[in-house]
């Protein structure tokens, strides 16, 4: 069932080819009809890989497969399916992963453990292995370096627009490119990753250094975004480095020469994470929450996420109701250190409450005007320390119920 494109959608950027990466999409009719539901990537020998995955205790078989494959730090292929998440499918799910990887390895001339897998969609239904494996030869035959744009659409489920980002960086005096795509709209409360995101670069970076940068980058981006407080069973972020660019050798630990690369990687990750929030199911407003004055940065992050996940806060914003009392409630229920008489709250840059009470002469008019916009900013100063954090979410509208109430229909 198609849904209206989010009013917060951003246009698809032009994605340049990443030297060494061949991308293709195809149809296996896993769940959808007359739309592409398989995305594949092929990488040259020597490609390194980094990944972060869901901490959900009921992960899908593809997550378990890719987590195990990551130990080698090497990659030659990626296969992603949409419509069926291959989660809670027991032995059948594991067999599907093994057969998919084996078929892909045969096509690419590599080991099955150099093939990474990801799936998104309905939980608890067997993924039709024969359909998927049967579609792979045709999909890989069509792989080209220009296939990234179509890939962003092929991995969507309830997404209303494809999500992609590209940035460049300098290693030594050589310019390298980082491009990424993502999907995610609901069941978004990342814990190490988002639903699905795949990035590639032509830089030559050891797996250990790549892993450290990806984990740090995800903590500052995907792990600071929430739509509905639900952590997916399929969360996967993978970053592939083909090594096609000619730049000075990067040491195993990375180091200062990767400073600009880390900057560009973080920019791609943040772009993608915010697009996920912009495409939150039924979303009409993007919400930024800045928390300052907490006892630690970790505490500030937890408070911010508690505000961002509050149905009462999110529905108030959907209704453009400047009800700052709901923000106070969310701070208090976070379980983190907070003092009512030290708390200050602002919306759209207007301080509404300070030191446990309403600001004298407070005028709600500019706040209401701000809340009528597409982007809403909330600032909360806990008043206890120097910890700070920024998180993003979206409002909660009836559209969320409409989409999720008919998801399997």
Token pair 């209303």 in the structure block, residue: 160
- Rounded CA-CA distance 331/310 in Å is 10
Rounded to whole angstroms, the Cα distance separating 79 from 100 reads 8
Beta bridge partners of 169: 176
Residue 254, φ and ψ in degrees, nearest 5: 85, -100
Q: Environment class of residue 252 by beta-carbon count within 10 Å: exposed (0-12), middle (13-18) or buried (19+)? A: exposed
- CA dist., res. 367 & res. 358, Å (int): 14
- DSSP letters for 7-24: TT--PPPP----TT-EEE
Spatial distance between the Cα atoms of 262 and 247, rounded to a whole number of angstroms: 16
Strands, DSSP E only, in 109-211?
A: 115-122, 163-171, 174-183, 196-201
Residue 183 marked ligand-binding: yes
- The dihedral region occupied by 86, where left means phi > 0, alpha psi between -120 and 50, and beta the remainder, is left
Strand segments (E) across 220-356: 236-241, 286-294, 344-347, 350-354
Residue 394 burial (CB < 10 Å; 0-12/13-18/19+)? Answer: buried
Flag whether 409 is marked binding: yes
Tokens in use for 404? 């999720």
Question: Is 84 annotated in some ligand binding site?
Answer: no
CA distance 68 to 116: 10
Backbone angles phi, psi at 378, to 5 degrees: -120, 135
Residue 71: partners with Cβ closer than 8 Å, 6 or more residues away: none
How many alpha carbons fall within 13 Å on the CB side of residue 345? 26
71 is in an annotated binding site: no
The question of whether 194 is a catalytic residue gets the answer yes
∠ CA 182-8-191, nearest 5°, is 40
**Active-site residue among 96, 194, 236, 242?**
194
Annotated binding site for substrate: 157, 183, 194, 281, 404, 409
Which residues are annotated as catalytic? 194
Annotated binding site: 157, 183, 194, 281, 404, 409
């Amino acid at each position: 069932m198609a849904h209206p494109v989010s009013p917060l959608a951003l246009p698809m950027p032009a994605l340049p080819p990443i030297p060494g990466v061949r991308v293709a999409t195809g149809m296996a009719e896993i769940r959808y009809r007359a739309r592409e539901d398989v995305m594949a990537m092929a990488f040259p020998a020597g490609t390194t890989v980094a990944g972060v995955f869901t901490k959900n205790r009921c992960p899908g078989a593809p997550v378990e497969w890719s987590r195990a494959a990551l130990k080698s730090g090497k990659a030659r292929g990626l296969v992603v399916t949409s419509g069926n998440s291959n989660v809670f499918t027991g032995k059948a799910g594991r067999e599907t992963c093994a057969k998919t990887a084996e078929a892909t390895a045969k096509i690419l001339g590599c080991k099955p453990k150099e093939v990474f897998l990801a799936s998104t969609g309905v939980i608890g239904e067997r993924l039709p292995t024969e359909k998927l494996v049967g579609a792979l030869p045709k999909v890989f035959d069509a792989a080209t370096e220009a296939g990234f744009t179509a890939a962003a659409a092929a991995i969507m489920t309830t997404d209303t627009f494809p999500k992609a980002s590209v940035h460049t960086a300098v290693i030594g005096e050589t310019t390298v490119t980082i491009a990424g795509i993502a999907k995610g709209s609901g069941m978004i409360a990342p814990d190490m990753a988002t639903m699905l995101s795949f990035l590639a670069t032509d830089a030559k970076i050891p797996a250990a250094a790549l892993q450290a940068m990806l984990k740090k980058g995800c903590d500052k981006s995907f792990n600071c975004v929430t739509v509905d407080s639900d952590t997916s069973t399929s969360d996967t972020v993978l970053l592939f480095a083909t090594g096609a660019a000619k730049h000075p050798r990067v040491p195993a630990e990375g180091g200062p020469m990767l400073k600009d690369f880390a900057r560009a990687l973080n920019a791609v990750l943040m772009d993608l994470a915010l697009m996920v929030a912009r495409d939150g199911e039924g979303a009409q407003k993007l919400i930024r929450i800045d928390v300052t004055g907490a006892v630690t940065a970790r505490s500030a992050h937890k408070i911010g996420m508690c505000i961002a996940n509050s149905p009462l806060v999110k529905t108030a914003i959907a209704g453009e109701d400047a009800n700052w009392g709901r923000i106070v409630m969310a701070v208090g229920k976070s379980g983190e250190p907070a003092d009512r008489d030290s708390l200050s709250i602002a919306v759209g840059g207007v301080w509404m409450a300070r030191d446990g009470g309403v600001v004298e002469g407070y005028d709600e008019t500019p706040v209401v005007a701000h809340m009528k916009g597409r982007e809403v900013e909330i600032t909360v100063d806990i008043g206890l320390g120097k910890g700070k954090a920024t998180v993003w979410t979206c409002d909660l509208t009836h559209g969320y119920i409409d989409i999720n109430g008919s998801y399997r229909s």
